[in-house]
Amino acid sequence: MDEPKPPSPRRLKAPSSIDDLLARAHALEGWTLDRLASAHGHAKLGSGLHFKGKAGELVERVLGASGGPGATLDFPELGVELKTIPIKPDGRPAESTFVCAIRLEDAERAEWQTSWVRQKLMRVLFVPISDDSTRMLGRALLWEPTSLQEEALQADFDDIMGLAGIGRIEDISAHIGKYLQLRPKARDGSPRALAFGADGERLRTVPRGFYLRARFTGAILRNPESLPDEA
């Protein structure tokens, strides 16, 4: 028996509308990363299960994301950020989801309303990928936070940036934040990022980024309007 043949994903022009983007994303359901790479003239993706970023980059290209450098969304005209998300056989995310890095030196002035993390999270296209050897794409979901969800995210942001703003960056562990957390984000643990200490002194620390906890994204994938509650 032949494999069923999904519609071709070979599209490179930017999607013209959210409906267009969502239709393209839905058409990817059932493709494996290897077949997707071949269909786009890429070599096979290597021998391992995971590729640290390659999946995300490939899906971006296939969907026609503007990409490119600069602090921008994947689909700036549509206000959409793309995130691939690895899913275990039981349907839950295998990992937290990286959102964006932060500039620690600006922590004191940071506000949720104008933050980069909020811009990224206001409209997200989640593309599930099975966390097994097939690396198969699942059904994409376009998510916009409910007001309750946004309040919860802002509360976490305020807790984190509150500490950062008073120079207590080293007191921020990944334990802070019910749904949104701050973690190291660098190719090694070297303190290459600029920050200010409690007395206003400059110091170097490890670069950090915001992540959505797997518990939060797992709840969204099952019911986009839900919030995982505490005990």
Partner DNA sequence: TAGGATCCAGCTTTGGATCCTT
Partner DNA sequence: AAGGATCCAAAGCTGGATCCTA
Site residues (vs DNA, CB under 7 A): 48-57, 59-60, 69-71, 74, 82-86, 92, 94-96, 98, 100-101, 129, 173-175, 181, 183-189, 192, 206-207, 209, 213-215
Is 75 or 211 the residue whose CB approaches a second copy more closely?
211
Is 1 or 71 the residue whose CB approaches DNA more closely?
71
Is 95 or 106 the residue whose CB approaches a second copy more closely?
95
Nearest to 37 by CA among 65, 58, 21: 58
230 binds, among a second copy, DNA, none (CB under 5 to 8 A by kind): a second copy
226 binds, among a second copy, DNA, none (CB under 5 to 8 A by kind): a second copy
Whole-number Å distance between alpha carbons of 182 and 157: 9
Is 204 or 215 the residue whose CB approaches a second copy more closely?
215
Count each helix (H run) and each strand (E run) in the chain, helices first: 6, 8
Q: Residues interacting with a second copy, by CB under 8 A? A: 215, 218-219, 222, 226, 228-231
Smallest distance from the beta carbon of 231 to a second copy, in angstroms? 4
Smallest distance from the beta carbon of 135 to a second copy, in angstroms? 24
How far does the chain reach from its first CA to its final CA, in angstroms? 49
Smallest distance from the beta carbon of 26 to a second copy, in angstroms? 24
Smallest distance from the beta carbon of 117 to DNA, in angstroms? 11
For 7-22, letters b (16+ CB in 10 Å) and e give eebebeeebeebebbb
Please, where are the H alpha helices in the chain? 18-27, 33-39, 54-63, 116-121, 147-165, 214-222
In terms of phi and psi (left: phi > 0; alpha: psi -120 to 50; beta: otherwise), the region of 98 is: beta
